[in-house]
Each structure stands twice: as structure tokens, then as C-alpha cells.
Amino acid sequence: MILSDTRIREERQAGRIVIRPFRPECLGTNSYDVHLGPTLAVYRTAGLDARRPNPVREFRIPPEGFVLVPGQLYLGVTEEYTETHGFVPFLEGKSSVGRLGLDIHSTAGKGDEGFCNYWTLEMSVKLPVRIYAGMPVGQLIYFEISGRVDRSYGTKRSAKYRRVSSHPTPSRMYLNFRGRSSPRTRSRRR
């Protein structure tokens, strides 16, 4: 079940949903609008490696905006810090942004119960689009959970995105490979 505006307000007052800064005018019928933060990042190399950290170059979006181009992955971040306790947050792009051909996430729209951080956006475009810091980019939708949660996201040792950062966070997929040998190493051992 999706939380209504009234329920989001109630859960916010109870401290189970945290949105900072909170702007009452951004609360929709059953969602909350989030905005693009001031920083973007791009990977420094064209080829990425899932087993290794991939360095990024960060830059601030200038006041006159910045043109995103097709074929480039941009990491953005929400202006809002959020916490979700007892619910599952989903981040979806706003339809006005989608109609510009701008995708704000490729596969990471669902958060976890207990997620406490800014949202990193995996942004790509179909056509060149000028974007601006502070523009509305997405909306958070909150779902109720059926059943008891044994381990909240913030308590899981495997949670790779717990460190709070208001900057875009690059992939930490390489942490999944720690302590594992590579396929080439395993085949040489046989």
C-alpha cells in the first residue's frame, strides 16, 4: 500500500520518515518531490570495471545550468537527505523530466527500509538537455511493509552505501568481490 500525503505527514511527525529540507509545497497526493543537488560526477574512464573502484570527476552545476549529452552517464544527488524507518521508499522520475528524455535512475529506484542518506541519481538523456541545480527531478513514494524486518539497511554489514554523503556516490560493486578469487584465478587452481 502506498502512503498518502496525510500519512506521509503523520509518519514524518513520528520520525519514521525524515526529509531534510522539508518543503510542504513539495508534498503531493501520495509522493514527495525531490530536487537535484548542486554536484554532478562523471567516471574518469570510458571503460568501467565491476571488480575495482572507478574514479570519478566531480563538478558543480553552474548557475546557467549544464547540458547533459547522450552516451554519457552522470551521477547526480538529491538536495534532500532522507531516512525511512518501517517503510520502503521508491524514487521515480517526475513525468516532466521524463518528457525531456532524462532518466534519473537506471536500476536503483527502490530504497531499503532503514536507508538514511541522500539519493545518488544515475542520470542519462536521449537528447542534449540543460539541467539546473535545485530543479525538481523525482518523487519519493513510500510503501508499507508486510511482516517484521529482521535487519534494517543501516545495520547490515553488506550495506555499501551507509556512509552519509551529499555528493554523488560511484558504484561500490567491487566490495561484493572482496575475499573472492577471480574466475581466472580459480581456473588456474584446477
Domains located in the chain, CATH noted: 5-175 (2.70.40.10)
Distance, CA of 14 to CA of 91 (rounded, Å): 22
Provide the 3-class DSSP secondary structure of residue 127: coil
The question of whether 122 is a catalytic residue gets the answer: yes
Q: What's the confidence (pLDDT) of residue 46?
A: 85
Q: How many CA atoms lie within 13 A of 154 on its CB side?
A: 12
Catalytic, out of 25, 113, 122, 144: 122
Q: Grid coordinates in use for 111?
A: 530504497
Distance, CA of 159 to CA of 36 (rounded, Å): 24
Contact predicate 79/61, CB 8 Å: no
Distance, CA of 176 to CA of 29 (rounded, Å): 38
Distance, CA of 139 to CA of 2 (rounded, Å): 13
Q: What's the confidence (pLDDT) of residue 190?
A: 45
Distance, CA of 8 to CA of 139 (rounded, Å): 13
pLDDT in tens, the chain (190 residues): 999 999 999 999 999 999 999 999 999 999 999 999 999 999 999 899 999 999 999 999 999 999 999 999 999 999 999 999 999 999 999 999 999 999 998 776 788 889 899 999 999 999 999 999 999 999 999 999 888 887 766 666 666 676 778 888 777 788 888 766 555 544 444 4
Q: What's the confidence (pLDDT) of residue 161?
A: 72
Q: What's the confidence (pLDDT) of residue 5?
A: 97
Q: Which helix (H) or strand (E) holds 47?
A: none
Q: What's the confidence (pLDDT) of residue 189?
A: 45
